[in-house]
Amino acid sequence: MKLFALIGFLTILSACHGYRILGLFPYNGKSHFVMFEQLMKALARKGHQVDVVSTFPLKKPCPNYNDIIVLPATTHLINNFTFDNIHDMMKRASTSHTSAVFFGTEICETLSDPRIQQLAKNPPNDPPYDAVIVEVFGAHCYLAIGHLLKVPIIGVSSAILYPWHHDLIGNPHNLAYAANNLITLPEQMNFWQRAYNFLHSTYHEMSFLYYSSPQTEIARKYLGDDIPDVRTLEKNISMILVNSHISMNGVKTMTPALIEVGGLHVTEEGVELPPSLEKWMNESTSGFIYFSFGSMVKIESFPMKHLEIFYNSLGKIAPVRVLMKIPNPNELPPGLPKNIYTSPWIPQVKVLKHPNVKAFITHGGLMGTQEAIHYGVPLIGIPLFADQFININTYVRANVAIGLDLDTLTEEKLDKALNAVLHDPQYRETAKKVSAKFLDRPLSSADTAVFWTEYIIRHGANALKSPAMNLTWWQQQLLDVYLFLLGVAFLAIYIVVCAVRFAFGLINVEQTPSGKKKLS
């Protein structure tokens, strides 16, 4: 009897065996890493040992979570992105070029770190890794580490997939009704919009492939000459966990290897609210508006014409207050309205959850806007770059946001938007309905991500692999079949034409010039 009990106990232990998972997140974008950190913490809470390579070590220890390598930041982005930086970035290069070079090839040079090379060539074996989780954004050279470890590679994207990501897992990206995430188009596109969507998507996909191709040589330089080219490495991705959800991003054709975990990062764990800020929010009995352009952008660096618009419009809504994230309040021009409270750092989740918050003025970053959707807070969106335009457009279509263009922004337009979100109940009511839909899932986003990660480890790297990965692009689009059928149709028409001509020829031969038949 004791033997059976021991066997049962060992069976349970075996079933509950935790995996060892390596997370590779070399890009030093805080807005990206907040999702990845919560993913790795969710896996750690399930008993898995997670080792993380990033530029953001944990501030507080977490069981089973180990920062094994803390990379130096290639560029200081937090609270350091000025208006001129934004303008120059939008003017000089396309998003695909920036992602492939600035957020890709340049980051690949961190493979030169001896600690990275040691990890890739002499990984721990006590126990060995069961899977590698890698951000799919620009630095796809890091997929080489998964190749060397010979374990399943799981991609994770903090944004809706960019045009160059769909082919990584054979995801069908139907450009007839699904606009790519770099342009703003309506759901029902006309012919010219569909044509533009196709050309725009194709250009950025080809651009990324071209500008990221040097990553192959960088990976081989630091990790060995036998590393496959980066395009081959990309095909080794087993699945991608993507920060999207059907409630906001719509119904799209997706392969099972694309798992939606939108809102994974939304958590209050470890988020502390300063007593002074909590007191200010509690005392805002007429409500307050939260204003933030994310973890990177310095609002105080904006031109005076924009700051005057903010000052004038926000000052008019008193006694409604305004909580404004300003990295360096001392750099603001004088005249800040008395109803505005500034702070260089704000615990955003706690703020958006507060009952007195009325609306969120945002640049449209996916993380912050999803937090607002989670708590049912309406938005005023002023997008600045990248996918922020389509994010705000999505929320405007859902009637939970008012979109404004920074280049054409006026005091009157901002006044009108503020008046609408503060006094028109439809925005608050719709935001609550969309929030309920966003949260209505069979599993939480964290549990969904954990389940499918474990699924890939249990059943192998190809468990969700699409058969489309074995086909060329023209085979996937059935162009060879269409050409064959077109050829058959032309051949059939040709045969019919020849037969008719032959028949008419026989008739003409049998007739005299006067139209009478010849005598035999």
Give tens-digit pLDDT for 21-54.
999 999 988 889 999 999 999 999 999 999 999 9
Q: What is the DSSP letter of 511?
A: B
User: Measured between alpha carbons, how far is 158 from 161 in angstroms, rounded to an integer?
Assistant: 9
Nearest-5° angle of CA 245, CA 456, CA 242? 20
pLDDT value, residue 290: 97
Residue 1, pLDDT > 50, answer no
Residue 5, pLDDT > 50, answer no
Residue 164, pLDDT > 70, answer yes
Mean pLDDT of 259-274: 90
Identify which has the larger pLDDT, 131 or 252. 131
pLDDT value, residue 15: 41
Q: What is the DSSP letter of 104?
A: I
Tell me how far CA of residue 24 lies from CA of 18, 20, 142, in angstroms. Answer: 19, 13, 7
Mean pLDDT of 198-219: 95
pLDDT value, residue 299: 87
Mean pLDDT of 283-298: 91
- Considering the chain, what percentage of its residues have pLDDT values greater than 70? 91
Q: Write the pLDDT tens digit of every residue in 96-135.
A: 888 999 899 999 999 999 999 999 999 999 999 999 999 9
Residue with tokens 């951000």: 135
Mean pLDDT of 356-380: 95
User: Measured between alpha carbons, how far is 363 from 83 in angstroms, rounded to an integer?
Assistant: 12
Mean pLDDT of 395-407: 93
Identify which has the larger pLDDT, 254 or 77. 254
Residue 404, pLDDT > 50, answer yes
Q: Find out whether 367 and 348 touch, Cβ atoms under 8 Å.
A: no
pLDDT band at 165 (very low <50, low <70, confident <90, very high): very high
Q: Find out whether 342 and 332 touch, Cβ atoms under 8 Å.
A: yes
Residue 90, pLDDT > 90, answer no
Q: Find out whether 14 and 31 touch, Cβ atoms under 8 Å.
A: no
Mean pLDDT of 411-419: 96
CA-CA-CA-CA dihedral for 262, 266, 269, 272, to nearest 10:
160
Identify which has the larger pLDDT, 253 or 270. 253
Mean pLDDT of 9-17: 43
Mean pLDDT of 142-161: 96
User: Measured between alpha carbons, how far is 231 from 229 in angstroms, rounded to an integer?
Assistant: 6
Q: Write the pLDDT tens digit of every residue in 299-358.
A: 888 899 999 999 999 999 999 999 999 988 888 899 999 999 999 889 999 999 999 999
User: Measured between alpha carbons, how far is 237 from 112 in angstroms, rounded to an integer?
Assistant: 23
Q: How many residues does the chain have?
A: 520
User: Measured between alpha carbons, how far is 488 from 481 in angstroms, rounded to an integer?
Assistant: 10
pLDDT value, residue 13: 40
Residue 212, pLDDT > 50, answer yes
pLDDT value, residue 87: 66
Strands 379-381 and 401-403 come out as: parallel
pTM of the model: 0.88
Reading the block at residue 175, the tokens are 């450009």
Residue 453, pLDDT > 90, answer yes
Contacts of residue 225, defined as CB under 8 A and 6 or more positions apart, other chains included, come to none
